[in-house]
Amino acid sequence: MIIPCIDLMDGKVVQLVQGRDKALEAGTPLEMLHRFAVFPQIQVIDLDAAMGKGSNDDLVQLVASRAVARVGGGVRSPERARTLVEQGAFRIIVGTAAFERELLAEIADAVTPQRLIIALDSRGGKVVVRGWRETTEFTAEEMIPHFEPYCSGFLCTYVDKEGLMQGTNLDWFRRLRAVTKHELTAAGGITTMDEVRELASLGINAALGMAIYTGKLSLEELASSLGSDTQ
């Protein structure tokens, strides 16, 4: 499955390079929803909430109410996760909070593991949290088995290549696929149709941001070339 991404910062749809530098601003969330209408799911990340610099609650609620959306960014309490579901979110993405086991259990209980996706984003081989500003001592490969009871899938971003348009690390995603049967969604540097196809052959979703916002990958090509894989 191909999942277009809507990242929100300061009330705008943006794309960042490696989670730090803003590379571009896109249209409004409603314009993006229209462009992405052919795809069955979209991904919405509130970057301000992830970084602890505020939130874009109104825009998140708007998108979640109009699309089948997986929503993340600053979800660090069961109340927040439950509110997002009530606002229309299809699935909830949790990153930083997953590393507090009791809190993770409470969030999973609040929305059910079937609705929960755990983000394991990696830079330099280690999982990063708090808007990618802090590095843990853990690898995604070793953490996935511990988190499986609490979720139905994992969002794994290869931060080293995020936003650089230089391709991703398919070997890393192959290693992740080997350690879990849960749904996997890949992100970070995916730039070519060959990469999208290779991920699909591994049974891994592709979350796409910079490549579609810059036109490197056209939405029409993605939809037509993959056919039923986009459904």
Query: What is the residue-averaged pLDDT of the chain?
Result: 92
pLDDT of residue 192: 95
Measured CA distances, 95 to 14, 51, 104, 131, 134 (Å): 20, 12, 10, 9, 12
Residue 220 sits in a domain of what CATH number? 3.20.20.70
Dump strand ranges (E) for 58-120: 69-72, 91-94, 116-119
Number of domains in the chain: 1
Active site residues: 7, 121
Task: Identify the band that residue 35 occupies on the pLDDT scale cut at 50, 70 and 90.
Answer: very high
End-to-end CA distance of the chain: 7
Q: How many angstroms from the chain centroid is the CA of residue 167?
A: 17
At 226, the pLDDT band (50, 70, 90 cuts) reads low
Res 230 pLDDT > 50: no
Q: Does the structure show a pLDDT above 60 at 227?
A: no
Q: Stretch 215-224: mean pLDDT, rounded?
A: 89
DSSP-derived secondary structure for 21-74: EEEEE---HHHHHHHTTTSS-EEEEEHHHHTTS---HHHHHHHHHHS-EEEESS
Where residue 168 falls among pLDDT bands split at 50, 70, 90? very high
pLDDT tens across 43-88, in order?
A: 999 999 988 899 999 999 999 999 999 999 999 999 999 999 999 9
Whether the per-residue pLDDT at 18 is higher than 60: the answer is yes
pLDDT, tens digit, 9 for 90 and up, residues 129-162: 988 889 999 999 999 999 999 999 999 999 998 8
**Which is more confidently placed, 17 or 190?**
190
The tokens for 94 are 């949790």
pTM for this structure?
0.92
**For the residues 86-102, what does the mean pLDDT come to?**
95
Range of the domain at 178: 2-230
What six digits make up the tokens of 23?
Answer: 């590379």
Tokens representing 156? 């794994």
Inform me whether the pLDDT recorded for 207 exceeds 70.
Answer: yes
- pLDDT of 231 > 50? The answer is no
